[in-house]
Structure formats: C-alpha cells, structure tokens
Amino acid sequence: MTDRSLPRALRQAMPQAREVAVEVAKQYGVCIRPVPLKRLDVDTGRWEVVDVPCGATLDAKCPSCAKRNWQLRMAQCREGWHLDQEPAITPDDPTEEQRWLVEFRADLQARRDQAEALGEDTADWDAAIEGVDAEINEAGMRGNVLGRTVPKRTRSTRRRQDAPNLPKRKMANTTLGRTFQSSDGKVYRPSLFVTLTLPSYGKVRNGVPVDPENYDYTRAARDALHFSKLVDRFVQNLRRVAGYDVQYFATVEPQKRLAPHLHMAIRGTLPRAEVKQIAAATYHQVWWPPADTVVFEGARLPVWEDGTGYLNPSTGEVLPTWDQALDQLDTDENAKPLHVIRFGDQIDVKGVLAGTPDTDQCIRYLSKYLTKSLGEALDSQAQRDHIARVVEALRYEPCSPTCPNWLRYGIQPKGAKAGMTPGQCRSKAHKPDHLGYAGRRVLVSRKWSNKTLAEHKQDRRTWVLEALGQPNELTDPHRYIWKPVPAGDANVSPLAVRLLRSVAERQRWRIHLPQLQAQADGQDPPVMERTAA
C-alpha cells in the first residue's frame, strides 16, 4: 500500500512493490509467472489455491523456471553421456502419469474456454494444451483426450525412402560404446560431440544475407519446418551404421543466420569420417501436395459450406480433401516430393573422453541456448529485416497437414473446419520466436540416462511437489484434485504477495537444504521432454 501521507517526491522514488517482488523472486529462483490452480485435498476435504510454477507446466517461460530447467538439463546430459552400464529400462506402466496429464489437460481446457468466454486471447492456453497433448501422446496414449483418433494412413510403398548407400553393421544389443584400454590398464570411454547445420541459402555476412533478393528464403523456411524429420533420419542412419543402439542428448538452436542447427552428444564413438559420410547421405523427402502455385489469394478465397467442406469460390466445386490430394500424389508416376531436405557440408565431429574438461565444456555449450528463443538477440536493423523476411516466407508455407495455408494451394487442410484463412495459421512454426522450427529444443533418446521410467516419473512428481512447497511429502497421486481458478477469483492474492510468499518458503527450504539433499542423494531431474526415437 502506498502511504499517502508521504511527500509525493518520496513516493515516486519508491520502486513499485510489484517490481521489487519480481526482482526478489528472481534472485531466489522463484517462478515469477506462477499459474494459480485450485486444489482439493481429498484427505482433509479442504480446497486451497496453489501456485504452480510456469516451467512445471508450460514450456519454461519465466527466467527463474528457464534457469531451473537449464540446470536440470545439464545434470541430465552429464548423467547419461558416459554410462558404463546398460541403462535399466522397465516396461511402460505410465497409467498414473497419463491420468495426471489428462487431468491437467482438462484444467487447461477449462481455463482456455474461460478466457475465450471473457473475450481474452487464448493463444497461450492453446499453446499449453498443444504441449500437454504431445506429452499425453508420448506417455503412450493414442490420439487426444477429446477422442479424435484417426487411423494412420498407409503410404504407397513405391514412395518409401530408401536407406542411403551406407555401410551397415550387424546390430549389437547394447547402448554402450566401445572402450579402449591403454598399456597401463586405464580404460578410456570415448564419445562424440557432433554439430550439424543446414545448407547455404545465399551468402551471409554477420548473419545477414548479402543479397536478400537472391537469398533462398523459401528453401530456408521449408528446411526449418522439416528439420526435426531430418534429425530423426540421421539418428536412424547413425544406428544402422554404428551397429549398436546409439543414444544421444541434443539441442536445437538458431545460428546467427536464423537457420536451426543441432548439437548432439553421442554415447560411444565412430570414425569421424564415417559420421560425416552418414550426415552427407542423410535426407528426408516431404511427400506433401505441391505448394508452389498460388490458386486462391486476396479476396478470392475458398468458401466453407457446412457438411461439404471448402468450395472453389468461382465454380462451386468442392476442393480436394487432404486424403484425396495424397491419393492423387500416390498415383501420379511423375509426382515429386514437395521438398527434399539435407544437411549442409559444415559438419563438425569432435571426440570427447569421459571425465575430461572437454566433457564439461560440451555440456555447457549444449545448454547455452536453452533459455533463449530462436528470434532473440537481434541488435541491428539488417537483422530485424532478415527476421521479417524469414517470417514472411513462412507466412504462406504449409507447416503441417492441418495448416490453413493449404487452401491457398487449392487443397482442403486435413481436418478442415469453418473459419480457416491462409496466412493466419496460429501454429507456432510461423511465429518469430520459432522461425519454422516448432519441435522440441532438447532431444533426448529413451535410453540416455540410467534411470527406470518409474524413477523418472517419481522425480518429476517430486519436482512439481517441491516447487509447490511440499518437499518432504511422498504424496499419493490421488490425494489431490485440481481445478482451474476462475479469472478474478478473490482467493488469488495479488502477484506481489504470492511471489513474496514463495520467497519466504524458499528461504525456509534453504535452511533445511542440507537435510533434503541427503535425502535426495543422487536424485536427478524429471524428464520433461522426450523424443520418440
């Protein structure tokens, strides 16, 4: 509260209470954008409002959560890189995690609908829901919680991508790399650190095209959109050539020219020349309908008809559906893929030995960009112009089968519905923060760390509960029922008050920290992201 009896000049000199609270919260590593949720304790029958840190639920967003996430990632990366024993992977039993995710998904949906009803922007909620949906799928459930499941399309075998011409070794049932013993009996455990970049789209200086007119923005946009597929192919080829179940921890980050590139810690080693050969031979074909000829634009756009779909505005003909367009592609002998993506020739392969300063340096390097967004750190006008052109190139590029941009090329997007407008896709691939790459920033293979799935789940729950201020409890997952908090709920205190409360909580923890650390001895971060590899 501002004391009105203070002289005005003095009052003005006082920083805003809220700003101070935010600064203090940052110093203590407390989430500055907590998400309030209502929680029913079924044991006591009591409802209370608790703050969930933004990084525990959505993509890590606030600086505190981003930093926390970064620390956990470094620990995770270090833990798995030079394992000397096969990681224990137990069969999936993710029902509890699934239930938790589904409940959380329901909460998010309720909050989103509420925001919509109030006429607020729902973009953040939609993004969060998208993220949780992806996690739900990865937790082993098909489709999404609204029950829309679509049978997987069987692709014509003619179009199956051949394995590139690479040596192929017999597959050994191990994830560990070879070791080497020196004459004095010391065992060396070599690994790899690989950097992969995309090809050139035109000459750049300081990250900015020298000749923007002739810089291939379309190719750059398509490469960014399909980059994660190329990475998947690279891992497949790597495993085939290496002859063992290669594990990796990788991060995707932007180069200065804004193209995504990849740093990958790989467990075990291969000859450098071979890794380069694999990268050079790896490619991915995008078998989507053609999107190079504009069919509808400006005021002349396809018209929606209930029960029918999108129609040609001039002739009234129904436009081909996504499935029809794919069928057409399959039967056309002369069809070409919409896009073929390959790595550029700037491939860097470095050997790293376990337990050396090199390892630490690589791990720091891997996590360096995790707290930044792809579109950040633009200091010159030329760079801002460059980013604007990348965004413009992405504007009408179809980002997925469901992208409204397909209407521009005369095709109904998969799952077409009323109100779709080309150039107005809300998927994050089109946004300046993502620049075409909407995939995960951290890719960790399933057998990277030496933990069972159950342990990871427990870690994750422990982390969330800790963040909720219950560090000591081993909680029954069914103890709480979560509900969204209506906007303007009187039970939610002002942000400054909530932040300072969390700081006080954190101070209490710090006193008990040595004790907690002993209990948690060796416990590591929850896995918040995984790849399907």
Contact residues: Zn ion, CB under 5 A = 31, 33, 53-55, 62, 65, 399, 403, 425, 427
Q: What angle do CA 80, 84, 90 make, to 5 degrees?
A: 65
Nearer to Zn ion, 65 or 77 (CB): 65
Nearer to Zn ion, 62 or 468 (CB): 62
Q: How far is the CB of 325 from Zn ion (least distance, A)?
A: 16
CA–CA separation, 340 and 326 (whole Å): 17
Report CA 163 to chain centroid distance, whole Å.
27
Nearer to Zn ion, 417 or 478 (CB): 417
Q: Are 477 and 100 in contact (CB under 8 A)?
A: yes
Nearer to Zn ion, 362 or 390 (CB): 390
Phi-psi region of 186 (alpha: psi -120 to 50; beta: other; left: phi over 0): beta
Nearer to Zn ion, 65 or 246 (CB): 65
The two counts, helices (H) then strands (E), for the chain are 14, 16
Residue 459: enclosing H or E segment and its boundaries? helix 453-467
Pairing of strands 339-342, 283-286: antiparallel
Nearer to Zn ion, 402 or 452 (CB): 402
Residue with tokens 């491939």: 347
Listed residue (532, 434, 529, 533) closest to 77, CA to CA: 529
278 φ/ψ angles, rounded to the nearest 5 degrees: -65, -45
Q: How far is the CB of 403 from Zn ion (least distance, A)?
A: 3
Q: How far is the CB of 391 from Zn ion (least distance, A)?
A: 12
**DSSP symbols for 313-324:** TTT-PBPPPHHH
Nearer to Zn ion, 66 or 363 (CB): 66
Q: How far is the CB of 431 from Zn ion (least distance, A)?
A: 10
Q: How far is the CB of 130 from Zn ion (least distance, A)?
A: 12
Q: Are 432 and 387 in contact (CB under 8 A)?
A: yes
Sign of the dihedral defined by the CA atoms of residues 78, 371, 519, 523, in that order? negative
Q: How far is the CB of 361 from Zn ion (least distance, A)?
A: 28
Here the tokens at position 136 are 């739900």
Q: How far is the CB of 453 from Zn ion (least distance, A)?
A: 26
Single-letter amino acid, residue 253: E
Q: How far is the CB of 133 from Zn ion (least distance, A)?
A: 16
Sign of the dihedral defined by the CA atoms of residues 297, 299, 304, 305, in that order? negative
CA–CA separation, 143 and 51 (whole Å): 30
27 φ/ψ angles, rounded to the nearest 5 degrees: -60, -35
Nearer to Zn ion, 371 or 427 (CB): 427
Listed residue (74, 142, 59, 67) closest to 359, CA to CA: 74
- The residues, any chain, with a CB within 8 Å of residue 302's CB and separated by 6 or more, are 296, 310, 311, 312, 313, 319, 407, 410, 412
Q: How far is the CB of 190 from Zn ion (least distance, A)?
A: 38
CA–CA separation, 308 and 311 (whole Å): 8
Nearer to Zn ion, 264 or 399 (CB): 399
Nearer to Zn ion, 499 or 527 (CB): 499
Nearer to Zn ion, 33 or 441 (CB): 33
Q: How far is the CB of 31 from Zn ion (least distance, A)?
A: 3
Q: How far is the CB of 291 from Zn ion (least distance, A)?
A: 11
Here the tokens at position 92 are 């999936």
Nearer to Zn ion, 111 or 239 (CB): 111
> What residues pair up with 209 in beta bridges, in sequence order?
204
Q: How far is the CB of 44 from Zn ion (least distance, A)?
A: 28
> What residues pair up with 284 in beta bridges, in sequence order?
341
